[in-house]
Amino acid sequence: MYRTREIRWFFQNEKEQFAHLFQQLNCTSTNTRTDFYLDLNNVDIGIKTREGKIEIKHRVGSRAYGGLNDNIWGCFDEFIKWSFNVEEKDSVLTNITDFQHCDWIPVHKEQKLVQLTQENGAIEPKSITEELDFGCQVEYTTVKIYEEVWHTFALEWFGDECLKLDGTIIAEMMGSAYLDIKDSFGYAHFLTKFSQLNQIDFL
């Protein structure tokens, strides 16, 4: 079990600024996978299968509204996460990943990831494979759900110490990107809104 702080947005039009951001960083990681989310119709709790694990993500406390700069406004959420290994030949997991349980939503992801941490007083990028005591994970992901394509950008702080990203770092990362507070929420909230907007009954 561990705790994180996250700010995330979902949008349908790709933002070139974020693609350029990851091109500029030399230690980025690209990951392609399909996660399956249990349809709970609950904006505070997400349960998913991920590469042979069951992961639970629970939003706690109140949402904090704020801005990273004049163009970027969103909601900061606190999460507690659990992760459990599942036996490789577990029949329930196999049925889920074989699309035999329609109450599990397949979400295909093409992720670009990098970690930021502080070394010698400076913010430094690190590969996602490095284990850090604290830092901030930067993510830009293309999401495909039932042939519909979305994009999500997120900053996720982890560890006992909070990495401070000042205005200069934010400006270098974000450029002229614009992100609206109405598009800021986590995966559980997004999937609930997605099913409502598309009038899809996943069950």
Domain of residue 159, residue span: 2-197
Q: Which residues of 20-57 are buried (b: 16+ CB within 10 A; e: fewer)?
A: ebbeeeeebeeeeeebbbbbeeebeebbbbeeeebbbb
Angle at 34 between CA 183 and CA 151, to 5 degrees: 25
Tell me how many domains the chain contains. Answer: 1
Q: Is the pLDDT of residue 201 over 50?
A: no
CA 57, chain centre distance (Å):
11
Q: Is the pLDDT of residue 68 over 80?
A: yes
Contact 14, 156 (CB under 8 A): no
CA distance 51 to 185: 24
Least confident of 79-88, 103-112, 177-186, 193-202: 193-202
- 145 inside domain: yes
- 184 inside domain: yes
* CATH of residue 160: 3.20.100
Residue whose tokens read 């230690």: 27
Contact 3, 177 (CB under 8 A): no
Distance between start and end Cα atoms, the chain: 29
Q: What is the pLDDT of residues 150-188, one digit of tens each?
A: 999 999 999 989 999 988 888 888 888 899 999 999 999
Residues in the chain: 203
- 95 inside domain: yes
> How confident is residue 202, by pLDDT bands cut at 50, 70 and 90?
very low
pTM above 0.85, yes or no: yes
Please report the sign of the dihedral spanned by the C-alpha atoms of residue 131, residue 10, residue 146, residue 57. positive
CA distance 171 to 163: 16
CA distance 66 to 80: 21
- 89 inside domain: yes
- 99 inside domain: yes
